Amino acid sequence: MARPRILVVGAGFAGVECVRRLERRLSPGEADLVLVTPFSYQLYLPLLPQVASGVLSPQSVAVSLRRSGKFRTQIIPGGAIGVDTKAKVCVIRKISGEILDEPYDYIVLAPGSITRTFDIPGLIENARGMKTLAEAAYIRDHVIAQLDLADASQDEAERASRLQFVVVGGGYAGTETAACLQRLTNHAIKKYPRLDPRLIKWHLIDIAPKLMPELGDKLGASALEILRARGIEVSLGVSIAEAGPDKVTFTDGRVLPCRTLIWTAGVAASPLVGTLGAETVRGRLAVTPEMTVPGTGYDGVFALGDAAAVPDLVKGDGSVCPPTAQHSMRQGRRAAENVIASLRGRPLQPYVHKDLGLVVDLGGRDAVSKPLGIELRGVPAQAVARGYHWSALRTGPAKTRVMVSWLLNAFAGDDFVRTGFQAQKRASLVDFEYTDVYLSPEQVRKHTASVVARQG
């Protein structure tokens, strides 16, 4: 009798924690484990702003999957582009471009999220995201290139546009990105004696009335004060009306000469969600507290992380868990336990977890944190933020690289080197997040039906 096949889609926090728990709890002969991911690493997303600013190398936050002890899960290098839950087949586009139809008995959907965008003229073509390792590496090169080009230019208008930078999104990602990159340019400008440091201007904007409202009024105000004291212009209640290659128009009418627009205004569930034809909640798959997809035709389907609206039983009132690493990791472990329970004919358990707080690293000695509801600022907050991130890294080599990089950057600074690896690529949101490869539910069904017909 063939062993049950458990397919996990996505190697983010949720997917990796699920696979690790399945490997520990299932004997090798009890089930076949398969992980679908384009890359054989888990990206530690919260530290991407430090990669963009050069504090950490890209390898530091790309935690190898194959260093996790006796890793016995098969990795399919590619991305899921459709799921036929009736035929129990996942359609996968391998990194070679080949289309693979992977059967499953149980499927755990943890494909994560993509950058949320709006119908703003020029946004897709001219904005850069901060969701992938490639984007972070590109942004670092791009920002340093603007300094190089401004230094070489004799045109004052061009120089001004290259030295203005706009970050959209006053949440965790946008605030840290603006803070870390502004610190990078402030240090780098000392190596450009021909450039006036006063020309460098960073703008952080958000349509919300408060910066990082999840921190609470006091800490949010502290973060705002830190940013403004460092010269970052923060505009709230404002967004982008139009994005051009050399200027940005704000919704309040201002027009800024600018060649760097970084878009971090929220996330949306992976487009894979739309291929199932299942019920959604604000774009995320509707699931039970046990993280199963309800309804006829979804037998053996679990969903979690950023792509699923997992009920928050601690808050109640119909709330769903926010798309954070903290929830995703714990959901991954519970989902694994529930897959095992299904496999062994045991009852499933709901996911319950109280949020432990938020940490925000603003670079240098600047930070604000709220662990377990305790409000911290400055060096204590920085120690908590970095301690949390360091402990969350899965492997010893990753922890060592990050700690050494932090120490080296603190004492030796940055060399402000751009690699040039992606100099000829525009780095649009579509280019780096591959949002145009997914199938519709009808296309998925037609595809699997044609495969069955050929095999018959």
Instruction: Tell whether 250 and 274 lie within a shared domain.
Output: no
Instruction: Tell whether 260 and 229 lie within a shared domain.
Output: yes
**In the prediction, which pLDDT does 68 show?**
64
Neighbours of 74 (CB within 10 A): 12
* 24-49 pLDDT, tens digit each: 999 988 999 999 999 999 999 999 99
**Closest by alpha carbon to 251, among 235, 227, 264, 272?**
235
Type and span of the H or E element at 182 = helix 172-188
Type and span of the H or E element at 410 = helix 396-412
Instruction: Tell whether 261 and 186 lie within a shared domain.
Output: yes
**In the prediction, which pLDDT does 313 show?**
93
Structural contact between residues 90 and 106, judged by C-beta atoms closer than 8 angstroms:
no
| Beta bridge partner(s), residue 33 | 6
Please tell me the distance from the alpha carbon of residue 10 to that of residue 79, in angstroms, as a whole number. Answer: 8
Judged against a pLDDT cut of 70, whether residue 425 lies above it is answered with: no
Judged against a pLDDT cut of 90, whether residue 144 lies above it is answered with: yes
Interior CA angle at 263 toward 257 and 265, to 5°? Answer: 130
The answer to whether residue 55 is domain-embedded is no
**In the prediction, which pLDDT does 275 show?**
94
The answer to whether residue 232 is domain-embedded is yes
The answer to whether residue 52 is domain-embedded is no
**Closest by alpha carbon to 49, among 369, 264, 368?**
264
Query: Which tokens hold the place of 253?
Result: 């009418």
Q: How confident is the model at residue 423 (pLDDT cuts 50, 70, 90)?
A: low
Count of the separate structural domains present in the chain:
2
* 292-308 pLDDT, tens digit each: 999 989 999 999 999 99
* DSSP states along 236-262: ES--EEEE-SSEEEETTS-EEE-SEEE
Judged against a pLDDT cut of 90, whether residue 230 lies above it is answered with: yes
Please tell me the distance from the alpha carbon of residue 95 to that of residue 347, in angstroms, as a whole number. Answer: 38
**In the prediction, which pLDDT does 452 show?**
66
Residue for token digits 């800024």?
256
**In the prediction, which pLDDT does 434 show?**
74
3-state secondary structure of 36: strand
Instruction: Tell whether 133 and 24 lie within a shared domain.
Output: no
Please report, for the domain that includes residue 304, its CATH number. Answer: 3.50.50.60
Please tell me the distance from the alpha carbon of residue 411 to that of residue 54, in angstroms, as a whole number. Answer: 14
The predicted model scores a pTM of 0.93
Instruction: Tell whether 341 and 412 lie within a shared domain.
Output: no
Interior CA angle at 181 toward 367 and 132, to 5°? Answer: 95
**In the prediction, which pLDDT does 185 show?**
96
Provide the CB-side half-sphere exposure for 200 (13 A, CA).
26
Instruction: Tell whether 175 and 89 lie within a shared domain.
Output: no
